[in-house]
Structure 1
């Protein structure tokens, strides 16, 4: 019995479909509701300040977020896909995406709810107001606040060299900046308690003035007239440093009090 010959193009069809599927997976966009972290928060707080994660890769995971430059040289903010660095001198500049960083948390921000508030709000009052809006205590929220502020107090650390100390041991090295009657943006997140350690739970904001000349980690504020945009995130992913320092880092130590001190800029 003579066997039928199968045309070559029919044999190639499954291969072509397979290649197309692989290409589609490679170009598949990141989850729009995903919180992405480059690095592990308690590791960074504990002294992992070496650059390892490329800015170019970070941009694939978000256009909005906060982070830190290598060797702890100030603070980072990502807004509308642009990265800004505030150094310990107070100078804020746009960062080229050709380098690397030790830690960042980002997402693709899309406001799902918008609120406006007129009238004075202290930092404590603002957080209480946000709590009244963000009713899921276990929800992951990205928060963008834009408007007028009677006062914004920020900080940035100066660059450090090895051997690195934990952040909480270097609070006396912080540089503080006060900005009065300023307009600008707050970029940040509210992270639930169950994510503590991998992330910094609670509220965490960085500031950028409207003229892009001032910024830093938020320490205190007095808001005057603001618009609050909320994006609810439904998942989180993380890339970890593949370095000897990370591999040998002691994660058994509880750093909750250290994180509180670092967030507030003073020992608790």
Structure 2
């Protein structure tokens, strides 16, 4: 990662790093997850958990909706559905999700971003702040973005195709010089198949009119918040589709990497 050019940002980085090192082994709170990423890869798209139920387990997170109908982003106790037509709308409490990850967001580290940074540079910065890959991190950025590129999977109908087939027709969207929110998680590599190992992030514009699953971005200024989490609770479905699915195929890691691009 290149050197931070702004002295204030560099100073804040040093303070945040010292704090992060002091609390390196801590991580309060809990991540609640419904279903598995490998189930989505296998084409298990029927929603089993309502948004109201998700809200009982967190105020921050991401996921998808019943029949893979768009992307889910949650923050500040609000939940939005980012659809394949480019729209963003508040989710209703009755809507359901086949896969979502939620937590009550509590920032252990807060850092102003006063120098423009690419997505990979932001990830490098987080990795320096939380050097262990073996705990979860909830990540939020409120900022001004030079650009954000997203994609959103269109709603699927039975018989469901595997996810790598479903995403071939997904539309992509570009946002330039926009304020917005990034909500996401950095999950340990050992969660491959259970979750998305590494970074998984969604974006919504400040007017709450558009967004999606992030493919890339460049942030010009903003605030980065990181919350370390050391507990994971998984609620697995009991549907026939889930019970009969192959949830540990040999190529699961490469399949997830392709699905998350």
- Output the TM-score relative to the length of structure 1: 0.84
Counterpart of 1:130 in 2: which secondary structure? helix
Counterpart of 1:141 in 2: which secondary structure? strand
Q: Is 1:196 matched up with 2:192?
A: yes
Contact 2:31 2:103 in 1 (8 A): yes
Give the equivalent residue in structure 2 for 1:178. 174
- Output the TM-score relative to the length of structure 2: 0.87
Give the equivalent residue in structure 2 for 1:4. none
- Distance in structure 1 (CA, Å) of the matches to 2:125 and 2:56: 32
Identify which of 66, 69, 81 aligns with 2:65: 69
Which protein is bigger by CA-based radius of gyration? 1
Identify which of 150, 158, 180 aligns with 1:154: 150
Identify which of 242, 257, 261 aligns with 1:260: 257
In structure 1, runs of 5+ residues without a counterpart are: 1-30
Give the equivalent residue in structure 2 for 1:242. 238
Counterpart of 2:115 in 1: which secondary structure? strand
**By how many angstroms is 1:260 displaced?**
0.5
- Distance in structure 1 (CA, Å) of the matches to 2:142 and 2:162: 32
- Distance in structure 1 (CA, Å) of the matches to 2:105 and 2:121: 24
- Distance in structure 2 (CA, Å) of the matches to 1:94 and 1:252: 34
Counterpart of 2:72 in 1: which secondary structure? strand
- Distance in structure 1 (CA, Å) of the matches to 2:155 and 2:133: 36
**By how many angstroms is 1:50 displaced?**
0.5
- Distance in structure 2 (CA, Å) of the matches to 1:49 and 1:35: 21
Q: Which runs of 4+ in 1 moved over 6 A?
A: none
**By how many angstroms is 1:170 displaced?**
2.8
Contact 1:74 1:158 in 2 (8 A): yes
- Which shows bigger deviation, 165-174 or 95-104? 165-174
Identify which of 107, 111, 121 aligns with 2:107: 111
- Which shows bigger deviation, 183-192 or 122-131? 122-131
In structure 2, runs of 5+ residues without a counterpart are: 1-26
Contact 2:30 2:231 in 1 (8 A): yes
**By how many angstroms is 1:194 displaced?**
1.3
Identify which of 227, 230, 240 aligns with 1:231: 227
**By how many angstroms is 1:32 displaced?**
6.5
Give the equivalent residue in structure 2 for 1:41. 37
Counterpart of 2:234 in 1: which secondary structure? strand
Instruction: Give the alignment's Cα RMSD to 1 decimal.
Output: 1.3
1:75-224 mapped onto 2 (5 Å cutoff): 75-224=71-220
Counterpart of 1:119 in 2: which secondary structure? coil
- Distance in structure 2 (CA, Å) of the matches to 1:197 and 1:262: 12
Counterpart of 1:149 in 2: which secondary structure? strand
